[in-house]
Amino acid sequence: MSDKRTPRFIIAALALMLIVAFTGCDKLSIKKLSANYHFNKANQLFRDNKFSKAIVEYKATIANNPDLKDAYRLMGESYKSLYVPAKETPENGEKAAEALKALQKAYELDNNNRDVIYSLGDMYDKMKDFDNAEKLYLRIIDLDPGNMNNYYIIAEFYKRYAGDKDKASLGLKDKVEGMYLRRIETDPENVQGYAYMADYFEKMPSTDGKTLAANLNNAYEMHKRRLTIQPNSAEVLYTIGVNRCETARRLPDYFSDAEKASIAAEAEKYLLKAIEIDPNYPEPYAYMGILYLNVDVKLYPEKEGRYREEAVRYGEKFQEARKRVLSRMKLEKELKKTG
């Protein structure tokens, strides 16, 4: 008799187990569906810049799926968007603390995710926590050394702190230049690296003529390296002409007349070469006028009349070339509409 009842008992037990199992699966599925619902809603609110409401939905997402790292990162970004750097109020401090908490959790879940690392580093940067921000930014380079933009991000980071007296001992100017050089070394045939470094030198603050001359000359060397890669680029030739013109114009008392005459002659050579290569490029015409009126007239006062006439002529050529460019841009826009 017991032999006949045993199979029924086993079947009943198995049925009970299946009911429990399916109930558990249903709960898991419902929680995941709920997490996805709140996550999608949060993301739309985030895109609409409704960060406070997005935070509510990200919290609901995490309550249903605590392992969703993107929810932590985007919740941290939402708090960060509400945070106002340097504003010292309890409410603002709470937003900073919540942003860090969420981003640190995202980093804990995936410490090799470059988006997470950048988000957390950026938050430290906004809070002026230089050391932690630097560690995270440098980690991005370690993870992705071939990404050229990473070097610019860190160079800009160092530049923001370069004027801070408390950071004077860190050699941030050298670190900035080091990042640009690492960018160049990573891809030496890419002209963009030299262009960025030249721009950095040209925009460096200079307290005296010697420093300004050195900065402009360093930029000049970078531009010339660009020219070895693109010898027939009107834009590169124009940029060198501008650099030489500005060197002579901004340092009237630093160089001798002979030195200024040599620099001005270089400026003219490069600008005329740019015009020769691309007669429809407006900017070189404009700078020829600037060169004649601001440098050559002072160097050669006996030729003032001639240089002023030439400046007017190049000004007219600039206007003509500019009209052609605008006309072409208008035509291209109309063709896109009809296409």
| 8-34 pLDDT, tens digit each | 545 444 444 434 444 444 455 777 888
Calculate helix-pair angle for 209-229, 191-203, nearest 10 degrees: 170
The total of structural domains in the chain comes to: 1
Q: Which CATH number is 99's domain given?
A: 1.25.40.10
Q: Residue 17: what residue type?
A: M
Of 268 and 170, which is predicted with more confidence?
268
- Give a yes or no: residue 59 inside a domain: yes
Share of the chain above pLDDT 70, in %: 91
Residues 92-123: pLDDT tens digits? 999 999 999 999 999 999 999 999 999 999 99
Question: Does residue 16 form part of some domain?
Answer: no
Residue 78 lies in a domain: yes
In a domain, 125, yes or no: yes
pLDDT digits (tens, 9 = 90+) for 225-281: 999 999 999 999 999 999 999 999 999 899 999 999 999 999 999 999 999 999 999
Residue 73 falls within a domain, yes or no?
A: yes
Closest alpha carbon to 156 in 203, 94, 92: 203
Residue 50 lies in a domain: yes
Q: Is residue 6 part of a domain?
A: no
State the residue range of the domain holding 118.
31-144
In a domain, 161, yes or no: no
> Contact 225/194 with Cβ under 8 angstroms?
yes
